[in-house]
Amino acid sequence: MPKTHLVLEEYQRLTLEEMRDHHPKPYMRERAAALLKLADGASIAAIARAGLLRRRQWDTVYTWLVRYQLWGIAGLTIQPGRGRKPMFYPLDLESARTQIAWVLRQSPRAYGLPQTRWRLQDVKRVLAWLDNRSEPAIYKLLKRLGFSRKQALNFIHSPDPHFHAKWKAILQAFQDAVEHPDEAVLLFQDELTYYRQPSKAPAYVPSGTGSQPRARQRPGANTQTRVAAVVNGVTGCVTYVQRSRVGKEALAAFYAQIRAAYPEAKRIYLVQDCWPTHQSPLVLAAANTHRLTPLFLPTYASWLNPIEKLWRWLKQEVLHLHNLADDLERLRQLVCDFLDRFAQGSEALLRYIGLLD
């Protein structure tokens, strides 16, 4: 039976010292250090408790000693197939990630399950190599492979058959505006409706029950206000008009305002959504009169219009939880003040709406 103390020949000590100081594998350096301390008279318990970089079990150090006494240096190596298996064994990391990604993209009902969303127990049922793992273990495995549970976003796929052609035309116009800033202008157009009453949004309040932010309403009609605006995709300059109502006549007048803002431009591209008013004969005639070139976004693709983020900024800074429900004119003035900040262009705005790195 192997002994719990170790006597080394000179060549054995030299070999272990070389291994302790220079072996490429950290675990081999640790085991060599433990054996040298045993040879110097330290007890297995002392070495396991405080003699190594990390605390070890007594029987772990004893096993190293036994294996060294029986097989020498070869007994200290971890043999192929030994040791702790990866969480996704028998697959490798990329294969496990690819397989899980494929499953999660499908509906659980495609696998005969009644749910519309995947649960941990459903993933376990579908993937045989997860069969012996607990739900907490599956959660950790998914996190390790880069999967997490997230809130869904409302989404609609654009049904426009000319999606790619329209988007290509917008990108070409953008390139023209960047390469010929003295001749071409690219403007992103949209309209916003806001109301006298404040909109709700999260805000900081004391923790606990009975304490929530309040959007303070006032009696009376919830009067609406409309804003039509364009953002220059190269400079960040904002041109806008604010009225109680923005219809065909107001848009036609706004187009004249746009031309007046860029009197020297030979080409003005106007990127806008497919609101029917944009395509009415009166509005199209006004665009032609003022030498504006409408470029219509694909239908149901508002995410392609960067000006939508300008509206988000306006809501966050001015409209959410405002306290001016009894002073509509003051509220309208604050909206104007916000938009006037970008009258001369703004790199900060371009970064916010995603047009500048």
Neighbours of 89 (CB within 10 A): 10
Which two tokens mark 158? 């654009």
Is the separation of the CB atoms in 212 and 205 below 8 Å? yes
Which two tokens mark 9? 């020949």
Is the separation of the CB atoms in 187 and 232 below 8 Å? yes
Residue 296 β-bridge partners: 272
- The pLDDT value recorded for residue 83 is 63
For residue range 238-264, list pLDDT tens digits in order.
999 999 999 999 999 999 999 999 999
**Contacts for 140-144 with beta carbons within 8 Å, 24 or more apart?**
140/87, 141/87, 141/88, 141/96, 142/100, 144/87
Name the residue ranges covered by the structural domains of the chain. 10-76, 93-144, 163-197+222-352
Report the distance separating Cα 329 and Cα 313, nearest Å.
20
For residue range 169-200, list pLDDT tens digits in order.
999 999 999 999 999 999 999 999 999 999 99
| HEC sequence for the chain | CCCCCCCCCHHHHHHHHHHHHHCCCHHHHHHHHHHHHHHCCCCHHHHHHHHCCCCCCHHHHHHHHHHHHHHHHHHHCCCCCCCCCCCCCCCCHHHHHHHHHHHHHCCHHHHCCCCCCCCHHHHHHHCHHHCCCCHHHHHHHHHHCCCCCCCCCCCCCCCCCCHHHHHHHHHHHHHHHHHCCCCEEEEEEEEEEEECCCECCCCCCCCCCCCCCCCCCCCCCCCEEEEEEEEECCCCCEEEEEECCCCHHHHHHHHHHHHHHCCCCCEEEEEECCCHHHHCHHHHHHHHHCCEEEEECCCCCHHHCCHHHHHHHHHHHHHECCCCCCCHHHHHHHHHHHHHCCCCCCHHHHHHCCCCC
Residue pLDDT tens, the chain, 357 long: 445 778 899 989 999 999 999 999 999 999 999 999 999 989 999 999 988 989 999 999 999 999 898 888 988 888 776 666 667 777 888 999 999 999 999 999 999 999 999 999 999 999 988 888 899 999 999 999 999 999 998 888 889 999 999 999 999 999 999 999 999 999 999 999 999 999 999 999 888 777 889 999 999 999 999 999 999 999 999 999 999 999 999 999 999 999 999 999 999 999 999 999 999 999 999 999 999 999 999 999 999 999 999 999 999 999 999 999 999 999 999 999 999 999 999 999 999 999 998
* Of 183, 174, 351, 355, residue with least CA distance to 270: 174
Please, what CATH class does the domain formed by 163-197+222-352 belong to? alpha beta
